[in-house]
Structure 1
Amino acid sequence: MYNILIYSIILMFLLMFLLSLLMYVSHKSMKDREKSSPFECGFSPFESSRIPFSSHFFLIAVIFLIFDVELVIIMPVILVMISLKTIDIYIIMLIFLIILTLGLYHEWYNNMLNWV
C-alpha cells in the first residue's frame, strides 16, 4: 500500500513537470500564416460565424457518419458468427449489404457524391 502511494506521488510530480514543460515550449503566436487561413470547411476564423453554411459539406459529413456506423455494426458480427449457423450469417450479411448498396445508389443518384 505504501508503494502505491509513493508511485502515485512520483507520477503526479512527473506529470506536473511535463505539463509545465509543455506550457513553456508551446508559445502560441498569432502571426502564423497557417493559423489564420481557412481550415477544411472553407470558413475564415476571423470572419463572422453567421455566414451561410454549404449543405454540400453537411451531406459529406452525413455520408461519412453512415459508413462509419456501418463499420460499428459489422464488427460484432464476427463474434456472433460463433453461435449462429453459417446460412444465417450469410443471410444477415446479405441483407445488410443490400441496404448499404441501396443507400449508396440513392446518394449517387441524387449527386451527393460529386465533389464539384
Structure 2
Amino acid sequence: MREKISLSKFMNSLVPISRFNKGEANKIFDEVKETGFKIVLKNNIPTGVLLTPEVYEQMIEIIEEYSLFLEAEKRMENAKPEDFIPQDKVLSELGINKADLDNTNVELE
C-alpha cells in the first residue's frame, strides 16, 4: 500500500453507508479485498475506513518503524562522544576479528 493513490482511486474508494443498508456488505468487502481499502461515508462525511489485513499490517509496521526512527533520532541528538564505543574495542571484547565479519552474510529486512 506504499504506492501513490490517484484521485480516481480515492474517489472510487468512497462507499456510502446506505450500500450496507441495502445488503451490499459482501460486495463491499470483495471490493476492499481487491483495492485494499474503502472509506465509508455517512451523510457525505467520512466515518470509517475498511482495510484488508495486509494493508493494516503494513500501516502498523510503518508506524512502528517511524516510532523507532524518532527514538533513534532523539538519542543521536542527545548523544555525547563518550556514549560511543569504537568498533575495534567491541570486536575485541566479543572475540571477533574483521575477517570473521567479512566472511559473514547478513540479510536485513
Tell me, yes or no, whether TM beats 0.5: no
State the TM-score, normalizing by the size of structure 1.
0.34
Q: Which has the higher strand share?
A: 2
Q: Which has the higher helix share?
A: 1
State the TM-score, normalizing by the size of structure 2.
0.35
